[in-house]
Amino acid sequence: MRLTDYKWFQAQPAQSASAVSSATPDTDTPPESPPALIVRRLGLQAYEPIWQCMRYIANNRAADREDEIWLLSHKPVYTQGQAGKPEHILKPGKIPVVQVDRGGQVTYHGPGQLVAYLLINVRRRQLGVRALVDLIEQSVLATLSEYGISAQTRPKAPGVYVKDAKIAALGLRIRNGWSYHGLSLNVNMDLTPFRHINPCGYEQQAVTQIADFIPPQENMLQGVSKVLGDELLTRLGYAPHFITTPADAK
C-alpha cells in the first residue's frame, strides 16, 4: 500500500497562552516547537500490510523523520501479542489470527472499531513508555467524556473501561527509539468475535462500545476519529485540527 494515497495533514504546533507565558523575560523566546507530525486517515485496511509498514518505519529510522498518527479501522482479525497465551484464543473460526510484536495478549479488530497507531520518536521527545500510555489513555477518556460516557483506567490493566466492561485496548512496541502500534476504541461494531477469545487475557471480560450508550449516528466512526485525533494532538503539543465538539464531527 502507498500511505500517500490517503488523506493526511501536517499538525500545527499549539499557540497556547501557557506557551507564550513560558518565554523568558530577557529573551522573549518561546519554547521550542514540538517535532513535525503527520496525521493520516487510512480508512478500512487489512491488518498485516499496516503492521508491516509500521515495522519498516521503526526498523529504518531517520533522525529527521516526522512523527505520525494513523487513524483507521481493520478488516476482521485477531492479533496476539508477544506474551500471548494460546489458551486465550477460544474459537477463532474463520477470522485469521496474527502473531504480532506488540505488548499484551489477544484482542480483536474489525469494522466499526477505531484504531489509532502512534509512530512517535519517543527518544527525541524524551517521552517514557508510562507517560505515552498515560497520554493515550487520557485522550480516550476525554473523547468518551465528549460523548457523555464516564470511563476509567486500571493501574495494572492498560486500556479504558466503562464500569466493568472494556471499551478501549492498548498495546505498544518501542524499537530503535520509536513507538508503534497503539490503541483500539470500540465505536459501533459487531462485538460477537470478542466472545470467542479472552479479551486481553482476561476470562469473561465484558466488552462494550460507544453505540451502547448513545444512539448510533451517521458517520459515527469518522466523528469519533476526529474527536480522538484532536485529543491526541493537543496532548502532544499541537493545535486541534478537526473539531471542538462531537456535534461538529458529524
Q: CB atoms < 10 A from the CB of 155, how many? A: 5
Query: Which residues partner with 116 through β-bridges?
Result: 71, 183
CA dist., res. 67 & res. 69, Å (int): 7
Residues in Cβ contact with 107 at an 8 Å cutoff, skipping those fewer than 6 apart? 78, 79, 169, 171, 184, 197, 199, 200
Query: Which residues partner with 181 through β-bridges?
Result: 172
Q: Which residues are catalytic?
A: 200
Residues in Cβ contact with 84 at an 8 Å cutoff, skipping those fewer than 6 apart? 99, 104, 105, 106, 201
Q: CB atoms < 10 A from the CB of 123, how many? A: 14
Cβ-contact 25, 227 below 8 angstroms: no
